[in-house]
Chain A
Amino acid sequence: MSVLSYLIPISLILGGAALVAFIYTVRSNQYDDPEGDARRILSDEWDDHPKP
């Protein structure tokens, strides 16, 4: 059962990382325009060089 002492922290850290990532996306306004972002990815306008 000693494997638990590794596995439980690992699973908590992984879950926590996902939570932190989600909070980051909320704070950086990534849900402001879901429809626009879904369509922007279809544009090839900035494919060759990034938007200045």
Chain B
Amino acid sequence: MTAQMRPQMAVCPGCVAAPSEAVEQAPTEARLALSLPTIHCQACISAVERALNAYPGIHSARVNLTLKRALIEAEPDLRAADLIPVLEGLGYEAHELDLTALAATHNDKAGRDLLMRLAVAGFASMNVMLLSISVWSGASDATRDMFHWISAAITFPAIIFSAQPFFKNAWSALKVGRLNMDVPIVLALVLALVTSLWETSLSGEHAYFDAALTLTFFLLAGRYLDYRTRAVARSAAQELAALEVPRATRLLDGQEYEVPVADLAIGDLILVRPGGRMPMDGEVTEGHSELDRSLLTGETLPVFAAPGTAVSAGEVNLTGPLTIRATAVGEETSLHRMADLVAIAESGRSRYTSLADSAAKLYAPGVHILSALAFVGWYLYTFDVRTALNIAAAVLIITCPCALGLAVPAVTTAASGRLFKKGMLIKHSTALERLAGVDTVVFDKTGTLTAGTPQLVSLDEMARSDLEIALALATPSSHPLSVALVRAAREAGISPADVTDLREVPGYGTEGLYQGRRVRLGRAAWVGAAQGSQTTAWLDTGEGSKPRGFRFTDALRPGAAEAVRALQAAGKEVLLISGDTTGAVEALANRLGIEKWVAEALPEDKAARIQMLADQGKKVLMVGDGLNDTAALAAAHVSISPASALDAARVASDIVLLGQDLEPIAEACGVAGQAIRRIRENFRLATLYNVIAVPLAVAGLATPLIAALAMSSSSITVSLNALRLKS
């Protein structure tokens, strides 16, 4: 921003003489956002706002309880990291949100637009309906004409403004020579308006202004419901993405600077602390550590990292700080290159036509032919264009897919709301329909069926004295295996041995002195043992005997066993495809009772196998979390990923599981099936109304009153039927 000359508004000459203070027009304000998942009441709002507003440097803070967020305007140098302890002191969990990732939720222009159109249509239809009621109850001659003219004056601008979404959709469909639900809608609207205006100018009896507006109102209500459902899911998905603030620590002349990941350049030296995730691809230049690659490859075994080791974005550093020279950043990283694979896989899925579209394909030509036939028949019978046109318009209005437009959104809104309460986020508009047809479920192993935290399994095979030494060595370390060992040993009532001179050697393990002997706990090669296929930490007690192995397995995610059992009980085939080693995959498959499993699968193998299942006519649900799953997630008929998954995997999947528990998956399949049954029921209901009303219209007996009754009652029945799902 540049400082600008401001016009002097002062009246006294002294003020003019005073130099206008060079205020720092540059960044005077920073905007921060915090996610506060635990706030729930008015007292929470007051407490958080009071604490934040009292904090030095904050200009204003406001809590949004609906989104469970706090938006803060503050001095530019204030960091969200400074505020989090303040809120945690009050007892509220707080996480920083990346505002750029949230941008779209802020100015929700499309939703507002739709709401405004809905309001105008509602206002106009109520007014016109009141005028119509007086016509129906017997107004005649000049009064009726006046009412009709007033209705026309309200209807035309209202329809031109509020029905724009339908006009646009119909036009874009017609331009490519296709029919969608909007084409009969627009045709009915236009024909109704034209014939009504003509009738009014001839002081005729029947005008369909109220029907055209009510139709617009109901259809917009359907669109708005549909939009809201997806907006809620989108905003929750964005919040997940915004929780991962993309920052990295850049080393420049020995100084550490925190910079946004987008600013990194090739050749930069980046410091990654233990527990941190690699922000880019690169090569280790300094430090020793172990890397967790499970999100990329599905392997659970930590990999040793030393100067020269190549690392990819998304890997997690486990033990020691690493300095990395960036070799690829941003779009060039292996993480982003996977996007190509996803794009290829996704092109297959766009072939799916939604239930509403396939209904429209059947319905639209039928309606048009019926209405045209009515016109031709009546013209040949009476040779009167006015009567024939009137009847054709009545047929179009009565058959207009008002209830059809509500049938799908009303049900998906109810079902998505119910699943959202169970912790499932339906991201894609047709995900529910596709989920209902699933007959095969493919699970990824690491991070999906397992929680990604190790669990000690060989506790009972160890001598008590060894356990005591191991516990002492593991206690100071934050390595996941050490943490798991400490937890298991403490639960078994082991107390640590008296080990002195404890020292953690990043990338290798920990060592210390016990009764004058050097004892070590760590990697196989460091301790002098043979590397096996299972995740193992080795203990060398320094007595010259063979090192003892502590074997670990991945702990199951809560609800994993239940979900697999429920899916199998529902008659679905369950498969396990993982990039991990054969032994680990086989063990897990046996534990969960999954008969078909594939190990050591590369990302392309996973996608290819899904494609193969699809070619056999199976409808595949893929559940996965890693980068190696993204292509498979995109290739599957429908896909689910847990909230802990990499951003790329969440983007590629249709449904995101917000909690830790996997159990809702089986239930979601049930709810989806129920929702589809309800949608079909709604279609049948709407058709039933048409079957009753259309003969009346074709016979020329339909008055505007009958049209209004048929339309409103079918819309209301359909909405009520959809709401039954929620109970």
Contacts and interface: CB of A to CB of B under 8 A. Distances in A.
Interface in B36-69: 41-43, 45-46, 50, 63-67
B143 interface: yes
Interface in B342-388: none
A26 B116 contact: yes
Nearest to A34: B66
B119 interface: yes
A12 B41 contact: no
Contact of A36 (B66, B116, B130, B143): B66
Interface in B109-131: 112, 115-116, 119-120, 123, 126-127, 130
Nearest to B134: A4
B41 A36 contact: no
Contact of B143 (A1, A11, A45): A1
A39 interface: yes
Given A8-B150, A22-B119, A23-B119, A36 B45 contact: yes
A9 B65 CA distance: 42
Nearest to B123: A19
A33 B67 contact: yes
A15 B127 contact: yes
Nearest to B39: A36
A15 B120 CA distance: 10
A8 B671 CA distance: 49
A11 B65 contact: no
A35 interface: yes
Contacts of B67: 33
A49 interface: no
B59 to A, nearest CB: 12
B408 to A, nearest CB: 25
A32 B65 CA distance: 10
A35 B65 contact: yes
B123 A15 contact: yes
A19 B123 CA distance: 7
Contacts of A45: 46, 50
Nearest to A5: B146
Nearest to B43: A43
B130 A11 contact: yes
A31 B120 CA distance: 17
B115 A26 contact: yes
Given A40-B42, A40-B45, A45-B46, A19 B64 contact: no
Contact of A33 (B65, B126, B150): B65
B46 A32 contact: no
B112 A19 contact: no
A8 B150 CA distance: 9
Given A8-B150, A26-B115, A40-B42, A19 B143 contact: no
Contacts of A32: 64, 66
A36 B127 contact: no
A1 B144 CA distance: 12
Interface string B637-651: 000000000000000
A18 interface: yes
Contact of A23 (B43, B45, B116): B116
Contact of B127 (A1, A12, A33): A12
Contacts of A34: 66
B112 A26 contact: yes
Given A15-B127, A23-B119, A26-B112, A43 B66 contact: no
Contacts of B116: 23, 26
A23 B63 CA distance: 24
A20 to B, nearest CB: 10
B63 A36 contact: yes
Given A11-B127, A15-B126, A42 B42 contact: yes
Contacts of B42: 39-40, 42-43
A33 B120 contact: no
Given A33-B64, A36-B65, 16 more contacts: A4-B146, A12-B154, A15-B123, A15-B126, A15-B127, A18-B123, A22-B119, A23-B116, A33-B65, A34-B66, A36-B64, A39-B41, A39-B45, A43-B43, A43-B45, A45-B50
13 contacts: A1-B143, A4-B146, A16-B123, A18-B123, A23-B119, A27-B112, A32-B64, A33-B64, A33-B66, A36-B64, A39-B41, A39-B65, A40-B42
Lowest 7 A-B CB distances belong to which pairs?
A36-B65, A39-B42, A35-B66, A33-B64, A19-B123, A35-B65, A33-B66
